[in-house]
Amino acid sequence: MILRKFIPAVLAGMVLGSGLPAQDTKSKTASKEEEGRYRSALLFANVIELIRDEYLDPGKADYDKMTYSALRGLLASLDPHSQFLDPESYSMIRTETEGQFGGLGISVGMVDNQLTVNVPIQGGPAFRSGIMPGDRILKIDGQGTQKLTLSEAIRKLRGRPGAAVTLTLYRPSESRTLEVPLVREMIQVPTLADVGLLPSAQTGGERIGYLRITQFGEKTAAEFDQAIDRLEREGAAGLVIDLRDNPGGLVDAAVEVVGRFVNPGTLVVATEGRKAAVGRVEYLAKAVSRKVRWPVALLVNGNTASAAEIVAGALQDLGKAVVIGETTFGKGSVQTVQPVDASVAPAVAVRLTTAHYTTPSRRKIHGVGIEPDITARMTLAEEKAIYQNRSPGLRKAGEPAPVVFDEPLDRAVDVLRGWKVVARRTAVAR
């Protein structure tokens, strides 16, 4: 009780002062900001002590628990992407970017305040069981997710490899609820998949390479180089890069991939923030030994987000790819993870929105997305057929693989075949 009685007296002394000298407008503004800062800190401390003294269950009135809960609420109130990272959450984020962790193999986010599957990681438990993008996670082991923050939900999805968990899902595309039993595994996160030449029957005999980037992580550039080496050995003369359902990842990885298409020093993306001191930060391509010189078609859809949109926007602006599909998600704000002073709270950080991205031509991505050069859409049934081909858990025992109609991919092949025809005729004319 002593602190609660002491705080108002301290605050009164700070605010009222004792005959401060005259100040100019700038100094008065700074003084008001200082008063506001101290008032806020003292108010917070006052409420914490009130809870400690009066709340019925003292076990819930631990200082760290209350402070962490308050900070989670504070960061969540700013925007959907800012987040307070307690030691466990901070460790999880570092593990994710390294590409290996224990869990179910799904990327999740909040859509309309509901925990929603963004993308199941190919080969993981969720992928094999037939979980699809857009599935709403209603319960985790019988516990409702409505009151969970995103970080709390992720923590519950993660766990010891070999441990079982049951998810209760609602699938909007089928208007039904289903329960899916899963077993956690040590998840290896491949960032590239399905590398190879497209079937000759699909390409009219042209040797067109295909690769799908599932997300952008620390290993993406190296995996991309390996994929290009393989396609070169197989004689590829054109390339389809599939960024559909790619939720993003590391910006540096996206810049590295774009660097395989452009000259060193080329502007790939820029950030524009609030602070004049920070100003505009530009990400430039670096010199690399591996270059892609084929004509390129890039596939995107409404789930293409963040770092994937940076790649699409840059290659489109710089004339290095034809973008085909649907307008992308429009997640182009910058989150920086800033560790808190270790002397105050070790292993704690804040993920904070500090700027937004712009393409080389200074187009804003956030809230707008990247519009394709050629619009090509898929129905829900067609999207499901693709996932059924990739994920055996979506097919009943003995059920044959469905026939897949992939109009965006067909349009990409048409573009690259047309490119080849023009190149050949131009060469003959010379």
Residue 331: active-site member: yes
Separation of alpha carbons 146 and 142, rounded Å: 12
**Active-site residue (options: 317, 333, 391, 420):** 317
Residue 102 · residue 158 · CB < 8 Å: yes
Residue 317: active-site member: yes
Residue 27 tokens read as 């100094």
Separation of alpha carbons 363 and 352, rounded Å: 22
Separation of alpha carbons 122 and 113, rounded Å: 26
**Active-site residue (options: 331, 333, 391, 420):** 331
Separation of alpha carbons 389 and 276, rounded Å: 50
Q: Is 307 exposed, middle or buried (0-12, 13-18, 19+ CB in 10 A)?
A: buried
SS3 content of the chain, % helix, strand, coil (to 5): 35, 25, 40
DSSP conformation letters of 322-376: EEEES------EEEEEEE--TTTSTT-EEEEEEEEEE-TT--B-TTT----SEE-
**Active-site residue (options: 89, 151, 306, 333):** 306
Chain position carrying tokens 């899963």: 182
Residue 182 tokens read as 């899963």
Residue 406: active-site member: no
**Which residues are known to be catalytic?**
306, 317, 331
